[in-house]
Each structure stands twice: as C-alpha cells, then as structure tokens.
C-alpha cells in the first residue's frame, strides 16, 4: 500500500483535470492573442476561468492575472504594487510567510521601503496585538498568509483587515492564498483585500500555473516585460492548458471535501498522539476549524529526527515532508517553527502530513500505524 500525504507540496491532477487538459491540447492549443476564430474561442475559455476563480474567492467584479504559479503571483503583488509608489514606507510581513513572500524583503529594502516582521504566536498565527502596535500612517502594505503551508495555521483575516481599516486605512493587504484557496472560505470583496495569490497544482491542477486576484482600483506595475499580455501585467503567451486545468480543478472542487479532510486530519492526530507519548502538534489544535486549515498537520515525534522518519516511512510507501518543499533542501530547521518559538529539538523532529480531497481513511490509518511502529524502533537509536 502507498499513502501520499504531502499534498501541500503538490497534488495529483484529478481525472477531470486530465481530461480537460487532453481536450485543450487537442483542440484548444491556439494562441489566445490571435484574431481568428479558434484562437478567440481559446481566449473565451481563458476568460471563463477568470470568472471561476473570482467566484471561488468571493471577488466578483475584480481582476485576475494568470502567472506561472503562486511564487510569481506573490512577487507581482508585492513588488508590482511598490513599484507604483513614489515614496517609501513600512511593509509589514508576517514572520511565518512562505519564501515566495519573505525572500522579497531584501528587494523591498533596495526599493526604498522598510520591511518589518510581524511576530507570530506559539500557535503559528500572527500576534495581532503586536500588529496593532506596528500599524500607523506610514504603513503602505501588509502581507499575510491565509493558511500557513507548514503548520496549517489559519490567519484571522477579518481581524487583520479591521485593524488595517482603523489604524492604517490607506495600506494595502496582500494575502498568500496558495494553501487556503477552496479549502477555507475566502471573502475578498467583503474584507477589502487588495490582492490574493493562488496556485493550480495545490488543488489538483497542473504545476506552472497560478493567478493573482487584484482589485480593479488597486495599482500594479508589471515585473515581467514583453508582449503585454494579461492587461500588460504579465507578458508572455498564456499557458492555456494550465489555465484551463486550473478552471476545471476549481469548477469540480467538492466543498464537502473540506469536512472529510478535517475528520481525517483529526483521526491522524488522535492516533499519533495516543500511540506516541512525546508527540506534540506544532500549530493550532487539529480539531479547531476556526484556527487551522482542514488538510495540514505538523507534529513533532522526539527523539526521532524528521529525516530519519521520512526515510523509514518512504520504505513503506508513505510520503510526507519535514516542512516546505520549497525550502526543505536548504534549511535544517524550519524558520516558521523557529518564529513560533519551537525548540530546536522539537523542530528537528517535526513532520508535516498534508491531505487532499482524495485522501482515504485507509491511507490515514496505515500512515499512523507505520509511524508509530517506526518511532518505537528508532527512538532507541537516537543520538545523545
């Protein structure tokens, strides 16, 4: 048996997506910028996907810019907006952001702005009291995640937007929604968010496709130069197959999948905590839907190091991770867990189990049983 539980890294394209891509490659492969009828039909399909994304994010009437993925969407949201401003100011970035956002800090500084980190609490969510103290009339941009990709912590977007409205009403809010889109309710228009990034391959679409939802009145400058596609905000011939796949993934998403994932996540957490006395969840409790996403569980299993457990589980056909796939080969200890105040020992023993709409109860039970088995064996051989 195999159990793929690394869906925060990527998901398998669904059968509906695979079929939509096949059709697109056979009959919808035309360049949507061309003026003849087949190309215009392809452009029509691309625009239909824009509306699907807007509806799913509660952003009716706004703009969608298709990108190569969530990373480019985040970069466009931050750097593209700051390029429209003539004066500097503070840019507040949460201390638990994905590298797609946090790695922009140095470039933001070179542009004449002042990036500052919003501290995180022990549960992995930002400290809104500290954010309130940091907000003032000099704040030009706030960037927070909807859902943390390592811990599953869900940020209080409504509270953050309320603080912005009261303390820094002219500041823009960008939300990295890569791990939240479709899996958590998104209310773009109601919260007056300025931009929102998403990625197709996290929801059973294809790698290489993402989108940035942007308010119509929010200024943005391109960071890619070329033929002026996507309203002059993202030059380059559109990835029509990837865009159509994104639309099909969103269109066929089953809202009931979130409840199923939540129950499976709770089941996995309960089994691991029961079988392994030293186990400790990093982030909000698995059974609290107000504080955490339904599909991500980060748990430390001391004294067994994550890398050791990863190799043991791989031998059983169980695939999990020790953190963000974008940084797992570069970072020994997760900067997200460090920002939460997790000890080095606990962080060094952390695993991330991430579920998807297709995850089964059998996979969960198999993963829990084998993890407990390996922990009992490996705990005897840890370094002292």
Beta-strand relationship, 210-214 and 63-67 = antiparallel
Q: What whole-number percentage of the chain has pLDDT above 70?
A: 97
- Across residues 209-216, what is the average pLDDT? 98
Q: In the chain, where does the domain assigned CATH 3.40.640.10 lie?
A: 15-251
The phi and psi torsions of 204 (rounded to 5 degrees) equal 80, 20
> Which CATH class for the 3-11+255-381 domain?
alpha beta
pLDDT for the residue numbered 323: 64
The phi and psi torsions of 268 (rounded to 5 degrees) equal -65, -45
Q: Is the pLDDT of residue 326 over 60?
A: no
Tell me how far apart the alpha carbons of residues 337 and 282 are, in angstroms, rounded to a whole number: 8
Tell me how far apart the alpha carbons of residues 35 and 37 are, in angstroms, rounded to a whole number: 7
pLDDT for the residue numbered 327: 47
pLDDT digits 0-9 by tens, 217-267: 999 999 999 999 999 999 999 999 999 999 999 999 999 999 999 999 999
Q: Which residues are part of the catalytic machinery?
A: 326
C-beta atoms surrounding 379 within 10 Å:
14
Q: Is the pLDDT of residue 57 over 90?
A: yes
Beta-strand relationship, 114-118 and 318-319 = unpaired
- Across residues 100-113, what is the average pLDDT? 95
Q: Reading across the β-sheet that carries 280-281, which strands appear in turn?
A: 280-281, 296-300, 350-354
By CB neighbour count within 10 A (0-12 exposed, 13-18 middle, 19+ buried), where does 197 fall? buried
- Across residues 33-53, what is the average pLDDT? 95
**8 A C-beta contact, residue 180 and residue 154:** yes
Confidence band for 86, pLDDT divided at 50, 70 and 90? confident
Q: In the chain, where does the domain assigned CATH 3.90.1150.10 lie?
A: 3-11+255-381
pLDDT digits 0-9 by tens, 157-182: 999 999 999 999 999 999 999 999 99
| Beta strands, E only, 132-244 | 139-145, 172-176, 195-199, 210-214
**8 A C-beta contact, residue 245 and residue 200:** yes
Q: Is the pLDDT of residue 290 over 90?
A: no
Write the DSSP assignment of 240-260 as a string of letters: HHHHHHHHHHHHT--THHHHH
Q: Is the pLDDT of residue 82 over 60?
A: yes
Q: Is the pLDDT of residue 383 over 70?
A: no
CATH topology of domain 15-251: 3.40.640
Using alpha carbons, select from 212, 232, 227 the residue that is nearest to residue 68.
212
Confidence band for 208, pLDDT divided at 50, 70 and 90? very high
pLDDT for the residue numbered 289: 83
């Amino acid at each position: 048996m195999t159990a793929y539980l690394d869906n925060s890294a990527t998901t398998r394209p669904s059968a509906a997506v695979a079929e939509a891509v096949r059709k697109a490659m056979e009959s919808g492969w035309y360049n949507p910028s061309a003026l003849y009828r087949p190309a215009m039909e392809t452009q029509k399909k691309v625009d239909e996907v824009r509306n699907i994304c807007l509806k799913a994010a509660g952003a009716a009437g706004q703009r969608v810019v298709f990108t190569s993925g969530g990373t480019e969407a985040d970069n466009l949201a931050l750097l593209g907006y700051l390029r429209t401003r003539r004066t500097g100011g503070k840019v507040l970035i949460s201390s638990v952001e994905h590298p797609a956002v946090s790695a922009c800090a140095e470039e933001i500084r070179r542009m004449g702005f002042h990036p500052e980190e919003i501290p995180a609490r022990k549960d992995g969510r930002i400290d809104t009291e500290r954010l309130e103290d940091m907000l003032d009339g000099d704040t030009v941009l706030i960037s927070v995640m909807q859902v943390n990709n390592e811990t599953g912590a869900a940020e209080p977007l409504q509270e953050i937007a309320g603080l912005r409205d009261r303390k820094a009403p002219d500041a823009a809010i960008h939300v990295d929604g890569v791990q939240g889109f479709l899996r958590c309710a998104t209310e773009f228009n109601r919260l007056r968010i300025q931009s929102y990034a998403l990625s197709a391959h996290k929801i059973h679409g294809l790698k290489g496709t993402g989108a940035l939802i942007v308010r119509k009145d929010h200024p943005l400058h391109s960071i890619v130069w070329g033929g002026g596609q996507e309203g002059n905000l993202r030059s380059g011939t559109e990835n029509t197959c990837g865009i159509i796949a994104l639309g099909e993934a969103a269109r066929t998403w089953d809202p009931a999948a979130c409840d199923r994932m939540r129950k499976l996540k709770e089941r996995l957490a309960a089994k691991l905590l029961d079988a392994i006395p030293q186990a400790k969840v990093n982030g909000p409790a698995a059974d609290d839907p107000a504080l955490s996403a339904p599909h991500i569980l980060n748990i430390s299993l001391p004294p067994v190091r994550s890398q050791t457990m990863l190799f043991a589980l791989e031998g059983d056909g169980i695939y999990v991770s020790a953190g963000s796939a974008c940084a797992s080969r570069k970072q020994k200890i997760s900067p997200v867990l460090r920002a939460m105040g997790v000890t080095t020992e606990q962080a060094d023993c952390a695993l991330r189990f991430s579920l998807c709409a297709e995850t089964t109860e059998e996979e969960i039970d198999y993963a829990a049983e084998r993890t407990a088995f390996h922990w009992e064996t490996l705990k005897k051989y840890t370094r002292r």
